[in-house]
Amino acid sequence: MRKIDQLLAEYGLSHQNPTNKTIHWICVPAIFFSIVGLIYSIPPGPMANLQFLLGNFANWATLVLVIVLFYYLALSPPLALGMFLFSALCLALANLLTIISPIPLWLLSLIIFAVAWVFQFYGHKIEGKKPSFFKDVQFLLIGPAWLMHFIYKRFGFAY
C-alpha cells in the first residue's frame, strides 16, 4: 500500500461521523486559508527585493506553500496538483482581501482560524475521537489532502 493511502486511511479512522465530516469540509479549507492569510500578512522583509518581479505573490506564504507542495508531491503528484490549485486560490483570495477588506488580513485570518478550530474540536467531540494530529503532526497537512482525495474520487481522477 502506498504511503498516501495509509495516511488517508488512518486519517479517515477518526472522521467517520457524518456531522464531523461536514464540519471538516468547511473548517479544514478555512483553517488552511487562515494559515495562508496569517503567513501572507508577515511583512516581506528580504522578500521585498523580489516584489518587483513577482508582485504581491513574493511573500512568505508563497514560500511556505512551495515547501508544503513538495511534501504533497512526495506523497502523490496528482494530489499535489489539486493542492497547488487550492493553494493558488488561497493566495489569490488573501491578495484580494488585502486590497478590498477594511479589516486587516491578519485579523480576518485569526478570527477564521479560531472559529474553525472551535468547530473542528466540536466535530471531534461528536465523533468521540481525538484529532489525528495529536498522534502525528503531519496529519495537519493530510486533512486537506483527505478532502482533495474525495474530490478526485468523485470525478474519477487517480490520486
Q: Residues 107-116: pLDDT tens digits?
A: 999 999 999 9
Q: How many independent structural domains does the chain possess? A: 1
Distance, in Å, from the CA atom of 80 to the CA atom of 159, rounded to the nearest integer, reads 9
Question: Residue 145: pLDDT above 90?
Answer: yes
pLDDT at 50: 61
Helices 3-13, 60-75: crossing angle, 10 deg rounding: 100
Q: Residues 33-80: pLDDT tens digits?
A: 999 999 999 987 766 666 655 566 678 999 999 999 999 999 999 999
Residue 35: which of 133, 116, 127, 110 has the closest Cα?
110
Q: Where in the sequence is the domain holding 92, given as residue range(s)?
A: 3-155
Average confidence (pLDDT) over 76-96: 97
Cα R_g (the chain), whole angstroms: 16
Q: Across the chain, what does the average pLDDT equal?
A: 93
38 near 106, Cβ under 8 Å? yes
Distance, in Å, from the CA atom of 59 to the CA atom of 8, rounded to the nearest integer, reads 30
pLDDT at 46: 67
Instruction: Please give the backbone phi and psi of residue 43, each rounded to the nearest 5 degrees, phi first.
Output: -55, 145
